[in-house]
Amino acid sequence: MRVGNFVIRLIVFLIGIPLLVAAVLAVPEPNHPLYLTLAILAAFFGAGEAAALFDLDASGYRGRKIVVSLLGLTIPVATALEIFSAVPESTTLTMLVLVFGLLLAGHVHRKGDERIRRIIPSVAGHALVLLYPGLLLSYAMRLVTLPQSGALILVYLASVFSNDTMAYITGRLFGRRNEGVVAISPNKSAAGFVGGLIASPITIVVAELVVPGLFPGNVARRIVFGIAIGVAVIVGDLVESGLKRSAAVKDSGNIVPGRGGMLDSIDSPVFVAPLFYYLYLILFL
């Protein structure tokens, strides 16, 4: 990484993280509306980038960017409405089934062999935009419904960013001779993976010391939770790397200075969110 790019990323980090923390804490009740708004915006831009990746992969998918971005809002918006009790609790699932059914039915009018051959990649492209990052991101939104939601959201974010940060530091310091352990992302090193994996459980253990009762039970339970989160952070990063490699692009977009696209910035948080949500329910509630 060039020094100039590193400085830009550092500036974005030093500005973006405090703003994200402020979004969680400044308007906490009810249900952290500013945080939910940021999540919905991330889904909007992320869906457009996901659609572009499919375009670049020559799949035949040619949806208009605004349309696919709005499609990506379907689940996050339905989730937000559920959280504020504006619609029944089953609305998100209902919308998912309804929209997916429409995606399938929307191709029955196609004519010509070439257009008919594009039905499967088109359906796959639309389904990807519907689910990624929207469905995964909806679980980051559902964290607002849990006890001590403000502290829990901050720990969720910290467990991801501490992993990323420590992976970068240990990779730079000790990863020169152990890169290429994963073919899908050859610049990643074993040292980086280990450093990141250690950071997440440490974050969870420290969080319980700072906010007693946030992760109740014995320390072994918190370590297991943290390790699971750490693995998910790493996998989430590799998943997006795989999508970009498949599309033959370096970044998913250019909306975030020094980092690339929205998906480049939220790949790990969105992948971690469902695991964080459900595993917290199982282990601590």
Could you say which DSSP state residue 179 is in?
B
Distance of CA 68 to the CA centre of its chain: 18
Co-location of 128 and 67 in the same domain: yes
Please count the structural domains in the chain. Answer: 2
What are the φ/ψ torsions at residue 28 (nearest 5 degrees)? -80, -35
Co-location of 200 and 166 in the same domain: yes
Co-location of 95 and 223 in the same domain: no
Name the domain boundary from 145, 162, 191.
Answer: 145
| Tens-level pLDDT at each residue, the chain (285 residues) | 444 555 666 666 667 778 888 888 887 778 999 999 999 999 988 988 888 777 644 444 455 666 777 888 999 999 999 999 999 989 999 999 999 898 888 777 777 777 787 788 778 888 888 899 999 999 999 999 999 999 999 999 999 999 988 988 898 888 777 777 788 888 888 898 999 999 999 999 999 999 999 999 999 999 999 999 999 999 999 998 888 888 888 888 888 776 778 888 898 999 999 999 999 999 998
Co-location of 57 and 96 in the same domain: yes
Co-location of 164 and 23 in the same domain: yes
Task: Tell me the residue length of the chain.
Answer: 285
What are the φ/ψ torsions at residue 259 (nearest 5 degrees)? -120, -20
Cα angle value 175/179/181 (rounded, 5°):
125
Cβ–Cβ under 8 Å, residues 272 and 229: yes
Co-location of 131 and 256 in the same domain: no
Name the domain boundary from 116, 145, 174.
Answer: 145
pLDDT of residue 229: 97
- Domain extent, residue 267, equals 1-29+146-285
Question: What is the pTM for the complete model shown?
Answer: 0.90
Q: Which residue has the tokens 């089934």?
A: 97
Q: Which residue has the tokens 């975030």?
A: 256
pLDDT of residue 176: 77
Name the domain boundary from 82, 113, 145.
Answer: 145
Co-location of 117 and 252 in the same domain: no
Co-location of 207 and 115 in the same domain: no
pLDDT of residue 3: 47
